[in-house]
Amino acid sequence: MRTFHLIILILGALESSWDPGVTNARHPQDGPDVDLRVKIEESKVEIQAIVNLVFCDEVIGQTRLFEESVEKNEVAPLREALLAKFQKEVAVKIDGIAVSPSQKDCQILPYEESDAEFFPQMGMRAVIKFRVTFSYSLKTSPRSVALHWGMYPQNLALAEFVDETILINAEWTAGTKTEIIPFREEEPEYIWHGSDKGLAPQFLAAPKIDRNKKVGSSYLWLLPIAAWVIVVLILFLRKSTIPVKPIAATLLIAAMGASSFLHRKTAIAENTPPPLSQKESIDVFNILHANIYRAFDYTEEEEIYDALSRSVSGQLLAEIYDQIYGSLIMQDQGGAVSRIQKVTPVQVEIKEPLGENGDSFTVETRWRVLGRVYHWGHTHMRTNEHLAEMTVKWANGDWRISSSQVLEQFRVGSQTSEGNR
């Protein structure tokens, strides 16, 4: 068995099926192409479009010294021309009101000249790419966002066979929901409508477990009896010649001692794991496992880490965080975006508790992940089945998945949807 990196199980199998040569040849197309991504968050709406040089030439028509290159002194004018074109052709309405971007940026991306061999028609014009980003600030979570996209160059990749403009598939992300939205010249607008649940990822609530089953519960029944005994004694002693004050003081000290004892027992209970039945163990694990996937819906470093820390701990937490954040950096450079569509538990088997006081247990679990990889307007659907053995450990007053080991993984089925043609 080999060490299990959770994110590799989730996403690695999706991307491992890609052949690098085929990927470069088809993403982007050998013609004008755009990778369009729209993201709606609580504080902003962001539109990112990565366009190749063919697209720039078709929508702007700015001349350069050499057709298949951009000289250093030509970068700034091309950036300004792209920003001006986007300002004119991309219209956004938030809650029905037309808005202008609060921030905008345009950068040329790093590229490899050797990739030109994958584009026999356009060569370097298909390799060189610009990233344009428009951000729209929000004061409150939006109820609706409308996007009108107005740039549709001719589909040069198929110009020999048909005379048509390109189809643009946009990845539209709002909170935890991601869709692929097509934009066509005859249908250039899409309106998103929000829901009452808001945009924040929805975490499953931890199951309620009775802490008093194990520690302290056997002593709690003494409290009401002790109170009645004290009351009866005081009433009796008032009628007798026995001094009341010393006895009352003794009873008070005894009550304080009992209270302190029970308090210590309660504190011990808070720092030790509650006893779990088989069903409760399965419930705890299923919720931790499901909540891990909520971290994939965040884009900020702190938010990713906080979301993951709800479910995992130790070295596993650091490993998953590093890999998720690394994948976000790749996405910003025009890399493939991997999204989890559905996670389906198939089998969960709880093994014997480990460690002292039952503070950990192991789970052998099988589950399926439906994922979608998006890149340059193309979506690849993958369903992968995984079998792993995971350790759930009591940490910082709650249960967390602390380690895991892969036992088996394989693809169940696949489907590809093409776009930008």
Over residues 211-270, the pLDDT tens digits come to 454 444 444 445 556 655 665 666 565 655 556 556 555 655 665 655 555 545 444 445
Task: Say if residue 130's pLDDT is above 90.
Answer: yes
Q: What's the pLDDT at 5?
A: 42
Maximum separation of any 2 CA atoms in the chain, in Å:
117
Q: Which of 82-96, 107-121, 320-334 has the lowest mean pLDDT?
A: 320-334
| Confidence tier at 325 by pLDDT (50, 70, 90) | low
Q: Quick count: other Cβ atoms within 10 Å of Cβ 259?
A: 12
Give how far Cα 295 sits from Cα of 12, 130, 229, 328, 384, Å: 17, 29, 55, 12, 19
Task: Say if residue 175's pLDDT is above 90.
Answer: no
Q: Quick count: other Cβ atoms within 10 Å of Cβ 203?
A: 14
234 contacts 255 by C-beta, under 8 angstroms: no
- The rounded distance, in Å, linking the Cα atoms of 114 and 131 is 20
Q: Considering only CA atoms, which of 24, 23, 86 is closest in space to residue 55?
A: 86
By DSSP bridging, strand 44-52 and strand 34-40 are antiparallel
Mean pLDDT over residues 112-138, rounded? 93
- The rounded distance, in Å, linking the Cα atoms of 58 and 64 is 13
Q: What's the pLDDT at 61?
A: 86
Strand 189-193: give its sheet, edge to edge: 97-99, 90-94, 144-149, 189-193
pLDDT per residue over 355-400, tens digit each?
556 788 999 999 888 877 766 656 667 788 889 899 898 877 788 8
Mean pLDDT over residues 156-176, rounded? 80
Mean pLDDT over residues 111-133, rounded? 92
